Chains A and B, each alone.
Chain A
Amino acid sequence: MASNAPVYALVDCNNFYVSCERLFNPRLEGKPVIVLSNNDGCAVARSNEAKAPGIGMGTPLFKIRDLVEQHQVQVLPSNYTLYGDLSQRVMETLGQHTDNLEVYSIDEAFLDFGSVQGDLNNQGKHIRQMVKQWTGIPVSVGISTTKTLAKLANRLAKKQAGGVLDLTDSERLEEALSCTRVEDIWNIGSRSAQFLKAHDIITALALRDSNERWIRQKLKLTGHRAVLELRGICCYPLVTKIPPKKSICVSRSFGHPITEPNELREAVATYTSRAAEKLRRQQLVTEKITVFMQTNRYREDLPQHQGSFTLPLPVATNSTLELLPIALIIVEALYRPGHEYKKAGVILSQLIPANTIQLNLFYHPPQDQDDRLMKELDTINREYGTGTLHLGATGLNPTWQMKAGKRSPRYSTCWEELPEV
């Protein structure tokens, strides 16, 4: 291999949320643990001990009650403050090794290994050991010549004792490709995987050696790129600068099914306020608002409705006062009496920087006034907690909110909640 060929390492935290909880509560070590998402009570992280009896990723808790009881699985609500802080610590620790680092998600980062001198495997081990010691979080490291291959290597590294796998060597690569199924390849979605399997392309090796023109025809650019990346041709270089957000989504499942339009309005008003607040924090404005609402798809015995509608805004805005009436118009239009709604959400899309608003010839929102009011609102809510000051439309005593269980303390970010010895 040429010495200047690109080499990527994917560092991925093992069962990240569970590892964060275990760091401050070592009693959870060796026990089956799952962490639930706050909005819909699905298992979003599982310890290996919880994966073993067959608790799948994203499974709602009510579907696994029996397994949970039988295996005495510890069920924890999520504590995103803690996970966010530990994620930053992991990324900072990785930053000690290279400036060329792409934070890919809360628990994964791609590192440029192109300039690593000496054995790649040893460097991987060194990083793994250091992250574990500094932050307490166990990670796995997959190394190869493209991001897709590094991701594939990482998946296999998780199953090895050492937690590090270097697939830059072609012989081992061949073997790894032959034991990876197409649905486990990065950027191959479940529909594409189904299509490939129907055409007898079962393994990553088969996909690599398939006819790239045919793949491009059938699976478009993403599929084509997957083939090239499996062949060691880099299509996705490292992205070290974070691109600005393209959309903001706030959605939650309700604590109980909603049939009343009033409650639905309150919920959507709350989500709209929260989304607008996020928008203002990033100094962006939105040109479009989408509202969606869903009934419980697991209750096949009840009437089903999945509704969604998008409206453009006359002038791009981040004012809750401008967004709210439009969100409520959509609620009015979508709502169907006689349905039990389980979840609703608001998506703001086509985001642009707040200082580049294009004015409308016919409509002039009271912008300065709104801006000042929103600024006060945000300041008060930052100081005294989210939701201290809110618009009447969001309701005074919402009963529809999901009751989150008691999360673990914010051990590493809050003076009042430090671990005790």
Chain B
Amino acid sequence: MNHGGKRTGAGRPKGTGKYGSATKAVRLPTELAAQILELLHTPSEPGNLQVTEIIRPDRCTTQELPLYESPVAGGVHSPAEEYVEGRLDLNKYLIKHPAATFFVRVSGESMTGAGIHPGDLLIVDRAVEAAHGKVVIAVINGELTVKRLHRVGDSLCLMPENSAYPVLNILESMNFEVWGVVTHSIHGV
């Protein structure tokens, strides 16, 4: 058995790093390093941005931001401390009925007019009563879909908010059910 030296097969295979191709160490003047790194991280085609990694947050944690009555804070003993009003918890703001709330990912474009785009995350609260004008997740013939619910007289229809998509009139023969009411759409910018 030989000791030390090169071990074949050791380390990460070439070309599988974050740049997707083989890399090489180079010396740069310190003042240029930052700029070059920035350049490297700017995508060449702006339309070609892709999701490369999804981090799964821990559901037991909360991310709270302090809410001050006055934006001014300073000095050793912050005079603002007395004015802390509580913290902002997005979970509390977005989710009223945790047991009844589900997340749904948007894939279609039929609701872009309502600000609901492919890739957006919808917060769906099943405890909220469906009503005329609400954006709902509906089951229609075994498929889940997101549309605006309209009641016209005695009949119901599902309205897309994109002129390229047709209005769906709900017929008695259809297998129709409101699955839940969309309360928020989370859209990354």
Q: How far is the CA of A419 from the CA of B182 in the complex (A)?
A: 14
Could you tell me the distance in whole angstroms from the C-beta of B15 to the nearest C-beta in chain A? 24
* Structural contact, A133 and B126, CB atoms closer than 8 A: yes
Chain A's closest residue to B130 (CB) is A133
* Structural contact, B105 and A418, CB atoms closer than 8 A: yes
Kindly list chain B residues whose C-beta atoms are within 8 Å of the C-beta of A96.
Answer: 99
B98 at the interface (CB under 8 A from A): yes
Known: A89-B100, A421-B104, A421-B106. A26 touches B54 (CB 8 A): no
A27 at the interface (CB under 8 A from B): yes
* Structural contact, B106 and A420, CB atoms closer than 8 A: yes
Known: A26-B139, A134-B99. A419 touches B56 (CB 8 A): no
B97 at the interface (CB under 8 A from A): yes
Cβ 8 A contact of A133, one of B127, B137, B139, B143:
B127
Interface size on A, residues (CB 8 A): 24
* Structural contact, B127 and A134, CB atoms closer than 8 A: yes
Within 8 A of A (CB), among B103-161: 103-108, 121-122, 126-127, 137, 139, 142-146
A412 at the interface (CB under 8 A from B): yes
Chain B's closest residue to A92 (CB) is B99
Could you tell me the distance in whole angstroms from the C-beta of A418 to the nearest C-beta in chain B? 4
Q: How far is the CA of A414 from the CA of B57 in the complex (A)?
A: 9
Cβ 8 A contact of B137, one of A27, A413, A421:
A421
A416 at the interface (CB under 8 A from B): yes
Kindly list chain B residues whose C-beta atoms are within 8 Å of the C-beta of A135.
Answer: 99-100, 126
Kindly list chain B residues whose C-beta atoms are within 8 Å of the C-beta of A412.
Answer: 102-103
Within 8 A of A (CB), among B26-68: 54, 56-57, 59
Chain B's closest residue to A30 (CB) is B175
A29 at the interface (CB under 8 A from B): yes
Could you tell me the distance in whole angstroms from the C-beta of B34 to the nearest C-beta in chain A? 32
Within 8 A of A (CB), among B68-123: 97-100, 102-108, 121-122
Could you tell me the distance in whole angstroms from the C-beta of A99 to the nearest C-beta in chain B? 15
Q: How far is the CA of A411 from the CA of B101 in the complex (A)?
A: 12
* Structural contact, B54 and A416, CB atoms closer than 8 A: yes
Q: How far is the CA of A262 from the CA of B172 in the complex (A)?
A: 63
* Structural contact, A421 and B98, CB atoms closer than 8 A: no
* Structural contact, B143 and A89, CB atoms closer than 8 A: no
Could you tell me the distance in whole angstroms from the C-beta of B157 to the nearest C-beta in chain A? 17
Q: How far is the CA of A170 from the CA of B86 in the complex (A)?
A: 55
Q: How far is the CA of A418 from the CA of B120 in the complex (A)?
A: 11
* Structural contact, A421 and B144, CB atoms closer than 8 A: yes
Known: A133-B126, A135-B126, A415-B56. A420 touches B179 (CB 8 A): no
Known: A134-B127, A419-B104, A419-B105. A26 touches B144 (CB 8 A): yes
Known: A26-B139, A421-B144. A136 touches B179 (CB 8 A): yes
A93 at the interface (CB under 8 A from B): yes
Could you tell me the distance in whole angstroms from the C-beta of A366 to the nearest C-beta in chain B? 31
Could you tell me the distance in whole angstroms from the C-beta of A136 to the nearest C-beta in chain B? 7
Chain B's closest residue to A24 (CB) is B144
Kindly list chain A residues whose C-beta atoms are within 8 Å of the C-beta of B107.
Answer: 420-421
Q: Name 20 A/B residue pairs within 8 A (Cβ), A-sorted.
A: A26-B139, A26-B175, A89-B100, A90-B99, A92-B98, A133-B100, A134-B97, A135-B99, A136-B126, A411-B102, A413-B59, A414-B56, A416-B54, A419-B104, A419-B105, A420-B105, A420-B107, A421-B122, A421-B137, A421-B146
Interface residues of B (CB under 8 A from A): 54, 56-57, 59, 97-100, 102-108, 121-122, 126-127, 137, 139, 142-146, 175, 177, 179
